[in-house]
Amino acid sequence: MTLEELNYKIYACRKCRLWHGAKHGVPGEGPLNARVMLVGQNPGADEDELGRPFVGRAGKFLTKILAENGIKREDVFITNIVKHVSPKNRKPFADEVAACLPYLNAQISTIKPKTIVLLGASAKDAPRVEGIEYLEIVHPSAAMRFNKMREKFKRQIAELTKRMNQ
Ligand code: SF4
């Protein structure tokens, strides 16, 4: 299945209750040959509005820090574990995660990234695939709010750059 076909499946998906309150499915975006995949937990209100991942304040901050470290956003694939926004941005329930994970698994097997970067709480739910390197890092929204987290986040993105250049 192509990424485009997968996107249409996500837009039309009714496998869990989350589609009901959402404006748009947010499959994720990035090149088919991305070496790095960034995975958050679920889209927020800005992402729901535009149908694109990490486009709100945290997403802009993430894009900025990636750029400062020589990583262009358009060179990485960005997505979430769960593809529809949740009510009041609550954490997705276990059954919602279970219903949605096949889409992330399909994205991983299509793109075959070298490294998967797990942002914040997504680390708990993300599948681990043999042969792929994983990097668990601070979520950009936490990095924006807390100085210590920000410094840690910057160090972790610098580590990602190092790995990409190896
Ligand atoms: S969150 Fe995932 S499983 Fe639930 S309706 Fe959306 S695409 Fe389907």
**Mean pLDDT, to the nearest integer, of 76-93?**
96
Which of 15, 91, 103 should be mutated for ligand 1, with most atoms under 8 A from CB?
Answer: 15
Q: Which residue has the tokens 């574990």?
A: 81
Helices (H), 13-164: 45-50, 57-68, 94-111, 122-125, 140-145, 147-164
CA of 113 to the centre of ligand 1 (A): 23
Q: What pLDDT does 44 receive?
A: 96
Please, are residues 77 and 37 in contact by the beta-carbon 8 Å criterion?
yes
Nearest CA, atom 6, ligand 1: 84
Q: How confident is the model at residue 1 (pLDDT cuts 50, 70, 90)?
A: confident
Q: What pLDDT does 114 receive?
A: 96
The answer, yes or no, to whether residue 55 has pLDDT greater than 90, is yes
